[in-house]
A = this chain, B = another copy of it.
């Protein structure tokens, strides 16, 4: 999409403007474009009503920048060495620089969103940053805790992932001057797509191969993070005890292997995929009131992409 290219171009230009050290950091960060799913949602959601496209492009750039900033802090917090096959800021320049570079990019994203001049969208954007960080904080606070509810899990993944999808979609509609009902449908679409996206991500941690997901199988559980497949497996009594044992003894590698294979059970994974599918169905139904057009087709394709994605 041509407009998505403009978003990537503004990221590159941003890197060129700043003082030398910051320019090198930003250049490193922006030189490998990601999958751009979030800014694509903003742009597609804005395509149903004619409007000043510069505003929605700024918003889309802000959305991608916010995502990048949160990845930089996540990588710093996790001590991750690689991201998209490249060294992370934290591994190249150290965690101190990474924390501050993340702060800078958070603020740069907010500045871009301010330039849209739409206060509703700006406030929603600031709330999204609160939701992202509180989602990560909740996840950390609940590691190795065997008493977790489905509701707690869903609230957490809304905060850490679906929140930004929701804002990406809703803000595209709002900034295009869409009627309130359309903005609400887009908001709901973003929410449902984001939930499905994170659930599939959590399933792939058990169902992918190491090569596909770029980390060892079952690494969420090994790090004490309880996700949907584990919660579903825990509904079977025998498995529940095993999960609780491994959360209390995460260094017992044999037990960990055993528990991971219990979770990899076909019926557990199938039930997990069904859970994601229900969110996908809801996302498609959110689009049903929109006029058929290439943008609607693309939004539908994003849903199928989430359902089948393998990384």
Contact = CB atoms under 8 A, between A and B. Distances in A.
Contacts of A21: 137-138, 141
Number of this chain's copies in the assembly equals: 2
Nearest to A79: B96
Contacts of A137: 21-22, 25, 97, 100-101, 104
25 contacts: A19-B134, A21-B138, A21-B141, A73-B99, A73-B100, A73-B103, A76-B99, A77-B96, A97-B137, A100-B136, A100-B137, A101-B137, A104-B130, A104-B133, A104-B134, A104-B137, A107-B126, A107-B127, A107-B128, A107-B130, A107-B133, A110-B110, A110-B126, A110-B129, A111-B126
A77 B18 CA distance: 22
A88 B101 CA distance: 21
Contacts of A141: 21
Interface string A82-99: 000000000000011101
A103 to B, nearest CB: 4
Pick the most buried of A25, A101, A129, A133: most chain B CB atoms within 10 A of its CB.
Answer: A133
A114 B123 contact: yes
Contacts of A76: 99
Interface size class of A (residues with CB under 8 A): 35 or more
A110 B127 CA distance: 8
A133 B100 contact: yes
A239 interface: no
A138 B19 contact: yes
A115 interface: yes
A18 B134 contact: yes
A254 to B, nearest CB: 28
A242 interface: no
Given A126-B114, A127-B111, A133 B96 contact: no
Interface of A: 18-19, 21-22, 25, 70, 73, 76-78, 95-97, 99-104, 106-108, 110-111, 114-115, 117, 119, 122-123, 126-130, 132-134, 136-138, 140-141
B77 A22 contact: no
A122 to B, nearest CB: 6
Pick the most buried of A22, A70, A111: most chain B CB atoms within 10 A of its CB.
Answer: A111
B122 A106 contact: no
Contact of A97 (B106, B115, B122, B140): B140
Instruction: List 4 A-B pairs, minimum CB-CB distance, nearest first.
Output: A107-B129, A103-B133, A114-B123, A110-B126
Contacts of A117: 119
